[in-house]
Amino acid sequence: MKTRSFTIAALTLLAGVSGCSGALSSAPGISAQGAPETLADARERWRASQIGDYQITVQQSCFCLQEFTQPLRITVRDARVVSVAGLTQPLTQPDQLDRSRLTVEGLFDFIADAQRRQVERLDVSYHPQYGYPSEIAYDGHAMIADDEISYRLSDLVPE
């Protein structure tokens, strides 16, 4: 047990000293380029991946029905949502979901619209390999209560 702890500590220290410069390029499935920083770069990386059909987990935080703040497993075919499943409880009102914000392209459009309108807050992080938005924090206007929303996307599985 002490040897394993020492090995982990040594590797952590070594990664910190080397600046992790080689860690991303040698890890399978991770792009050495790093995450895109602009919407245009992210869209390009997403398109270059040529993923048309996929499953992804989307979790939103908003002033909305509690069943919509749970992680949702989304299945997308030809850029259209074909199924939505709650991962912690069944959805009782799935028709009230804004399905346009449950696809990667739909969230790219949401980000572009927010940028055009110069909203109060828009923080976006993109996935390093595929370019999809992995986290979005949005506040449309400082003086409007309950318009804040955030999204966290994970567990992409191309089909």
| Predicted pLDDT of residue 70 | 94
Cα 20 to Cα 7, 27, 45, 65, 80: the distances in Å are 17, 11, 23, 42, 38
DSSP 28: T
Q: Which helix (H) or strand (E) holds 120?
A: none
Is-contact 149 113, C-beta < 8 A? no
Domain limits, the chain: 1-27, 37-158
Helix (H, G, I), strand (E, B) or coil at 8: helix
In the chain, which residues have pLDDT < 70? 1-32
DSSP string, 55-118: EEEEEEEESS-GGGSS-EEEEEETTEEEEEEESSS--S-GGGS-GGGSSHHHHHHHHHHHHHHT
| Predicted pLDDT of residue 32 | 54
| Predicted pLDDT of residue 94 | 86
| Predicted pLDDT of residue 65 | 78
Is-contact 107 79, C-beta < 8 A? no
